[in-house]
Amino acid sequence: MAIKLLENLADVRRARYATGDELQYAVIAAELELTRLKSRLIDTQRREFKILAQLQRLTGISQPVPISQELPPWRAIPSRQQVVDALSEHPRVQVADATIAAESAKVLLNQAAFKPEWHIDLSYGKRDGVDFNGDARSDFTSATLSFSLPIAVKRRQDLRLSAAYANEDAARQTKIEVLRDMAADIAIAFSEWKRLTERIELLNDAIVPQSHNHAQAALNAYQNKEGSFTDVLLSYVNEVDANLEHHRVRVDRLKSWAQIDALNGSTE
């Protein structure tokens, strides 16, 4: 669309130049702006190819990934409070919880090493033969009670238990930092969504239609020999820039939507 606008303007300049109603520099100026816009298009295509190559590498898909020319209609988002309430279900938080559980289990294991171990052994023995008096030898029963006290290795166990407590505390601190970082990310994402929505409304309601009307008015005035070519060229460039800005803001808002979706732990 942007290129089409400047192509139309360049065609008007060439037609007026052919009839002697236009200076050559004006035609060159129109074609220069058109060439600049085409250069921007080439650079955009270069960046598009680079991003698609990165997408193929991340997805492992060898074939080119088909990309729709239409932007996805992502307009509805959950409330900020819903996203905050669902943080406990987010994979990052669940990983932090699992780490805490693992470190807590290590603490219990090291605490158990301080408890003494008890062993009870019961045995029964049957004896044959006779004693010195000629009487039959009696059978016997024995019981053994033994226990171990971790006295010799107490210092080493103290160090291991202290390390286990430290790791558990570090895991809990990591979860606190994860929640704090995600809360900040949520605030930023919702602020971006709100401001970008306001910009889209301003572009839709005022900037884009006004820039189009201004370009048409400048062109009509120029064709009626009531305006200058410079005014026409600038108004067309402004219209092109307004449309490009409108597209960029829509893309940026979709990025903020994706960020909010990535922060939302709820699957509903």
Residue 38 sits at the vertex; the CA angle it makes with 34 and 42, to the nearest 5 degrees, is: 170
The C-alpha atoms of residue 260 and residue 195 are separated, in whole angstroms, by 14
Neighbours of 55 (CB within 10 A): 13
Q: Is 148 helix (H, G, I), strand (E, B) or coil?
A: strand
Residue carrying structure tokens 């460039």 = 237
Place of tokens 């048409």: 216
Q: What is the pLDDT of residue 182?
A: 95
In tens digits, the chain (268 residues) has pLDDT values of 555 666 666 666 666 656 555 556 666 776 777 788 778 778 878 887 887 788 778 777 777 767 776 777 777 889 999 999 999 999 999 999 999 999 999 998 888 776 666 667 777 666 666 566 666 666 667 767 666 655 555 666 678 888 999 999 999 999 999 999 999 999 999 999 999 999 999 999 999 999 999 989 988 888 787 877 778 878 888 888 898 899 899 999 999 999 999 999 775 5
Measure CA 211 to chain center.
Answer: 35
Contact 236, 60 (CB under 8 A): no
Residue with tokens 């650079």: 43
- State the pLDDT at residue 17: 59
* Cβ contact 65:52 at 8 Å: yes
Residue 143's Cβ-count burial label (10 Å; 0-12, 13-18, 19+) is: exposed
Distance CA 5, CA 254 (A): 27
Which pLDDT score is estimated for 154? Answer: 60
Measured torsion, CA atoms of residues 220, 222, 226, 228, in degrees rounded to the nearest 10:
140
Task: Please report which residue ranges of 113-207 form alpha helices under DSSP H.
Answer: 154-202
Looking at CATH, the fold of the domain delimited by 75-116+153-268 is given as: Outer membrane efflux proteins (OEP) (1.20.1600)
> 48, 174, 35: which is closest to 102 by C-alpha?
174
Question: Which pLDDT value is given to residue 63?
Answer: 74
- Name the residue among 207, 230, 225 with its Cα closest to residue 9: 230
User: Cα(238)–Cα(254) distance, rounded to whole angstroms?
Assistant: 24
Indicate yes or no: pTM above 0.75: no
